[in-house]
Amino acid sequence: MESKEVIRMALERSHAMVIGLIEDMRDAPLTFPTPNGGCHPLWVLGTLAWNECMFIEEWVEGRPNPLTGWEPVFGIGSEPVADADRYPAFNEVLAKVHEVRRHTNEVLESLLEEDLDRPSHAPADRQAHFGTARECFLMLVLKWTMHRGNVADAKRAAAGAG
């Protein structure tokens, strides 16, 4: 099996593991995972879309992030808040996540195995983890699985509150 096939499988599985939990939180998207805050499901959903565009469109393709307008609420350094008015609607963000993932899959399918080793457009301070296209895809999978815990804890918090 070539690594491209492994990446495809990892993208599918990480997406499935997280998106189902997030969709379960549709009625409580601002539920914080702990009494002290944390990453609520709506913020997780938006930050996953924003980061996926950064990793793939900016750093693999060398294009501008099409979600640059989301940077203040979902980008690097943003903090989840309980104010729904600060965010796009849950269904809008969910639809964008699916659109972004379709594009990611198209980019992956357009690459040959050897293309995965070409240098990325990631900034110098991110090259250690995002230095090649292959590494950008790998880190995307890890980003999704990392945030699964935030949403799982938020789901538990919502169930305990009800």
* pLDDT in 10s for each residue of the chain, 162 residues: 799 999 999 999 999 999 999 999 999 999 999 999 999 999 999 999 999 999 999 999 999 999 999 999 999 999 999 999 999 999 999 999 999 999 999 999 999 999 999 999 999 999 999 999 999 999 999 999 999 999 999 999 999 854
Question: Over the stretch 39-56, which tens digit does the pLDDT of each residue have?
Answer: 999 999 999 999 999 999
Cα distance between residue 76 and residue 102, in whole Å? 23
| CATH number at 3-158 | 1.20.120.450
Extents of the domains making up the chain: 3-158
Question: Per-residue b/e over 13-32, b at no fewer than 16 CB within 10 Å?
Answer: ebbeebbebbeebeebbbbb
Q: Do 132 and 117 touch, CB atoms closer than 8 A?
A: yes
Q: Do 22 and 150 touch, CB atoms closer than 8 A?
A: no
pTM above 0.85?
yes
Question: Over the stretch 5-19, which tens digit does the pLDDT of each residue have?
Answer: 999 999 999 999 999
